[in-house]
Structure 1
Amino acid sequence: MRFFLFFLLISRVVIAQTTYPKDYFQAPLDIPTQLSGNFGELRPNHFHAGFDFKTLQREGLKVYAAADGYVSRIKISPFGNGKAIYINHPNGYTTVYCHLQTASGEIENYIKKTHYKDQNFEIEMFPKANELVVTKGQVIALSGNTGSSEGPHLHFEFRDTKTEKIINPMLFGFDKFIKDTKTPVIAAVYVYPLSGSTANKSKRPLLLNLSLQKDGTYLANKVLANGAIGFGITADDYDNNSFNKNGIYKVQSFLNGKTSFGYQFDTYGFDEMRYVNALIDYSRYKKTYQRVQKLFMSTPYNLSIIKTDGTNGIVNVLPNINLVYRIEVADFFGNTTTVTIPIGFDASSSVVEQEAVISNYFVKAQKENIFSKDNMTVTFPAKTFYEDFSMNFAVNGNILTLHDDTVPAHSNFEIAIESDKYTDEQKSKVYIANLGANGRLGYNWTNVKGNVFTTRVRTLGKYTLAIDNSPPIISVVKPIQGRWLSNDKTLQLSISDTGSGIKSYNGYLNGNWILFEYNTKTRKITHYFSDGIVAEGANNLKVIVTDQVGNSKTFETQFFRSQK
């Protein structure tokens, strides 16, 4: 145990002493830097892994290699990062460029060849060190809006090449591109009664009133409590360049002047991303969309950026003792906002009781839990959840109720449903669907063995068996049947599916496979005639779209094109 603590201490010292090159990398764009998202910002189910650079609300800006190196990975997907390029640099770091419209030059040729070799739009490549060498300032791509991007921008990351840990770009000197004289804004402070205690006569979290002091700090109204309490904040940061809110860089709490609980967004691993759901008050977020960052851990979790004392940020309020709790929120430039909270003891009984929760079972987070009723079974492996909780588990007809999505799951759990009402032919079309509030069915990959259907999911809620017998829908964006398309640069179709969702699509011109790029936001697939597959004169087009359970739709037509 002593060796472990010593190792942990030494590891933290080594991390703290890491020196990053400040002038080695250039900015990936040649326009004034404006951020629409910064490192560590709180996102659904993850922390933001880099910078989101604004691109003047348009696509097609030149994207430059931040330093010499070679393209080590390329991933093209209609989801997530969209079109992404990874560059390894000789100093041990990797830069990542995402949501690209298209790559440039030799890199784009490499990508296009792979599309046609694999006959797929979704591809992932790992070029060798001597294949795609780039120099600092070389144009590697054009900015775009591909993947799950909600608007034109460039997502940019730094990673440690060996460990793949992501690193705050500010540590590489990118602070010189940003002016920031603004202090973070603490919009709300909450006190959380824990383990049956009360705070200001409430067993529920309470919003504290804040008053601005002459020295620029804030003073909260006094908290009168008995037993264990914790605190949480909602806070945002602003800079002089962007004029939109971003995530905070550092938060530290103090109890009677001694550090209690804090974290700083410098570096962390991808396997830690989902701990954002443990850091925030997840239940409040799902109900109100407000992200309250908790400054305590009722049950410790392994998020490496957190530094805490032996109490894990929990304040124990005892008789005859007055306490002073202080919260400091800072940005990377040292601009700091401070809130002071006086705390005293009060033995009065609560006026506001805990919120009632519909439940009939209790889940122990550190143990495996198996619940079964009628024809449905749910298995939660140990450590599926962050904390113990009372769960509502019910089976009503063909609907399984697994509490609701106000309790976050960190890892997958299994649902098994037995049913003998489907024929062997039908079974291939059946899947376990999550049932949305609007009655919409969400597809989950499902395995069938005999009459038992199983799936692995990571969200609590309602589930049911669904069958999809409907093929996808294919339609033309504009009429092409029998028409001359000599002046068109692209060929575009709309594809959609009302059941399990689209799994694959393939297009053929005169029997030859052609690349269609898929935009999930517009539900359109686009072929660029510049690929050189189109023939002079008549062209026969065939498109086959298949959904997740194997239903297929084929679209065929003929058009004409002159290349002269």
Structure 2
Amino acid sequence: MRHILLTLLFSGGLLAAPAQEPRSERYRFPVRNVAGLYSANFGEMRPNHFHSGVDIKTDGVTGKPVVAAADGYVVRIAVSPSGYGRALYIAHPDGTTTVYGHLERFRTDIESYLRYKRYEQGRSNVDFTCKPSLFPVRAGDTVALSGNSGMSFGPHLHFEVRRSSDQRTLNTLAAKLLPVRDRIAPRIMRLHYVEVDSLGDVPVHSRPRTFDVVRRSEGDYALRQTQPVAVGRRGYFIVECSDRKDEVYNTFGIYRLTEEVDGEVRYEYRMDGFLFGDTRYCNAVSYYPMQLSSRNEVIRLTQPAGCPDRFFTTMKNRALLTTPAGRRQEVRITAEDDCGNRSVLAFTVEGKADERSFRAPACDSLPVVRHDRDFHREGDGVRIEIPAGTLYESCFYTQRPYDEPQPKDSTLLFLSRGVEILDVRLPMHRYATLWIDATQVPPELRRHAVLASLSPKGKLRYEGGKWSDGRIRLRTRSLGTFFVVADTVRPTIRPRFTAHDLSGQRSVTFSVGDNFSGVGSVSCLVDGRMAILEENRVKGTYTHYFDDELFGRNREHTLRLTSTDGAGNTRVWEGTYYR
């Protein structure tokens, strides 16, 4: 009877009601038997995305009970080697959905249903929705065990609260939906200043000037230099900052950053939530060239032309500082965390003479890539298409041969000299498409020919692409220096077991690796039938848990593991075992 009532309750109009403002009294802490500490907060700057939830420490171990934060039903189940790994989504009557990521195992009935769906779809990695009547839950019900699956580098629970209607993520700690212990004000590490000149409608930025910051007391910061900061005709500041919380050594993201000039708020960034389609705008909010290598948040106090207003509660004149020559102004920058702790950096600026301001060098001969228009160009062995909305600011297009020594990698065949296209430190919101001449590639190497590039640190990395009609075509969100290479080395497969009789074991594990282009796919057959694999991409391991119901016991079995890399090279391991 209870199951029937719950089914009627959750499949009826209750969950279809208009979304309510989530309140803390509706939510249980989502993991039991832990200290209640965090390793990451909402909205942190991550590579090419904002962090969409909070990471809750599980005291360095897996297997902690994960519970439903509120009444509802399981609406979605996902298993992926990347991202959240094993993840569970629960819809609630108040119009929110909670997400539980990096899980080790689901509850027994959910795990059984997952097994059925994997065999039904013929693949180990799945993502599917569930009817409300399938898995109703009450607040506090155990739904899974915490783990370390997906792109996770240590045991923890990733937890989110989303608005169900559009999946907009909500700042769980700032909204006080979960308890947190934090009496520590944000840390302000450094201040930078950049001048801006314009050539036509293309902004050109000077190199940042860096100013050391000292902490005078908790929450009170000043510049090490005592004289005013000399500023040009137009410019903006960049703040390097981070946050801490009680009882942990982890660094956290900033909730709010405000800039006042002579008492007037000119800029305010605030992270209350975002849509997943907007997550890459972190590269516009941050100062991307510095953010690439910083452990802190590097936030520029201005709004690029291609960045939407919704990340800023205040923005006047794009927050560009235009202090007249000889005039002084008072600047006050306030960093606030998601628990209301604040730090202030106050200093004086003075406008410098116009002739001392930054002037951009002439670039009359270079094509312009406008941030709000499509760009097409073909020449010197390269064709490129950059859609409108790809760049956050307009820039001049540059392309030149790479004149440095060729990178060394004995496992690759270099089939072209390098070509530099724009800058690897240029952030891109959408995909550009490249076609690079590859007519010189011999027929026998064409199926293995791909593009490689240099990372911001100068390391050779795989980009991908396919050879077709004498060119290699690539969709990419990163430009820079490219090479045509051939990767002909097959992946490696190493069994991590030696015994033939596996009757006493629960599983078999393989290590699978690749020299350059990465492991693209791995499949497993037992006795000629699809077998489920659990992939740990961080460790490079693939585990098959024996399914005696499907494959039987007390006999010899054949196992075949096939791995293909990003360049089309395939390796097969085949063996037998008794179970």
Indicate whether the TM-score tops 0.5. Answer: yes
Alignment correspondent of 2:409 = none
Question: 1:489, 1:530 within 8 Å by CA — same for their partners in 2?
Answer: no
Q: Which residue of 2 aligns with 1:517?
A: 534
What one-letter code is carried by the residue in structure 2 that aligns with 1:543? L
**In structure 1, what is the Cα distance between the partners aligned to 2:20 and 2:344?**
28
One-letter code of the match for 2:25? D
TM-score (norm 2): 0.85
Whether the aligned pair in 2 keeps the contact of 1:373 and 1:395 (CA below 8 Å) is no
| 2:323 corresponds to | 317
Counterpart position of 1:23: 25
Aligned partners of 2:504 and 2:418: how far apart in 1?
Answer: 54
Contact 2:163 2:170 in 1 (8 A): yes
3-state SS of the aligned residue for 1:159?
A: strand
Instruction: Give the Å deviation of 1:369.
Output: 2.5
Tell whether the 8 Å contact from 2:464 to 2:566 is kept in structure 1 after alignment.
Answer: no
Matching residue of 2:162: 159
The answer to whether residue 337 in structure 2 is matched with residue 331 in structure 1 is: yes
Letter in 2 for 1:286: L
Equivalent position to 1:542, from 545, 557, 560: 560
Distance 1:440 1:367 in 2: 31
1:10 maps to what in 2?
Answer: none
For residues 511 and 544 of structure 1, the distance between their equivalents in structure 2, rounded to whole angstroms, comes to 12
Alignment partner, residue 14 of structure 1: none
Q: Supply the distance in 2 between the matched residues of 1:439 and 1:427 (Cα, whole angstroms).
A: 24
Amino acid at match of 1:373: G
Q: Is the 8 A contact 2:330 2:347 kept in 1?
A: yes
370-379 or 427-436: bigger deviation: 427-436
Counterpart of 1:190? 192
Distance in 2 (alpha carbons) for counterparts of 1:551 and 1:536: 36
CA shift at 1:511, angstroms?
2.3
Q: Does 1:236 align with 2:279?
A: no
- Code of the aligned partner of 1:192: V
Residue 509 of structure 2 is matched in structure 1 by: 492
1:33-52 to structure 2, matched below 5 A, reads: 33-52=36-55
Give the secondary structure class of the aligned counterpart of 2:279: helix
> Which one is further off, 89-98 or 462-471?
462-471
- Percent of residue pairs bearing the same amino acid type: 27
Residue identity matched to 1:493: F
Q: Which moved more, 1:96-105 or 1:206-215?
A: 206-215
What is the CA-CA distance between 1:374 and the residue it aligns to?
Answer: 2.8
SS at match of 1:227: coil
Superposed displacement of residue 410, structure 1: 1.3
Contact 1:192 1:206 in 2 (8 A): yes
In structure 1, what is the equivalent of residue 430 of structure 2? Answer: 411
SS at match of 2:573: strand
Q: 2:128 and 2:146 mapped to 1: Cα distance?
A: 20
Question: In 1, distance between residues paired with 2:212 and 2:448?
Answer: 56
In the TM superposition, what is the alpha-carbon distance from 1:317 to its structure 2 partner?
0.7
Contact 1:261–1:296 under 8 Å retained in 2? yes
Contact conserved, 1:23 with 1:173, CA < 8 A, in 2?
Answer: no
Of 269, 272, 277 in structure 2, the residue corresponding to residue 266 of structure 1 is 272
**Which residue does the alignment assign to 2:569?**
551
Q: Gaps spanning 5+ residues in structure 1: where?
A: 1-16
Q: Which moved more, 1:21-30 or 1:380-389?
A: 380-389
| Higher mean C-alpha deviation, range 280-289 or range 77-86 | 280-289
Q: Which residue of 1 aligns with 2:523?
A: 506
| 1:441 Cα offset (Å) | 4.3
Query: Hey, what does 2:371 align to over in structure 1?
Result: 365
Q: Number of residue pairs matched?
A: 536
1:143 is displaced (CA, Å) by: 0.9
Q: Distance in 2 between matches of 1:416 and 1:118?
A: 35
1:450 aligns with 2:469: yes
Higher mean alpha-carbon deviation, 91-100 vs 25-34, is at: 25-34
2:546 paired with 1:529:
yes
CA change 1:210–1:518 in 2 (3 A) is closer
**Structure 1 counterpart of 2:180, which letter?**
I
Q: Which moved more, 1:292-301 or 1:147-156?
A: 292-301
Aligned to 1:429: 448
Aligned to 2:286: 280
RMSD of the alignment, in Å? 2.9
Structure 1 residues 478 and 343: alpha-carbon distance in aligned structure 2, compared to 1, 3 A threshold = same
- The letter for the 2-side match of 1:495 is V
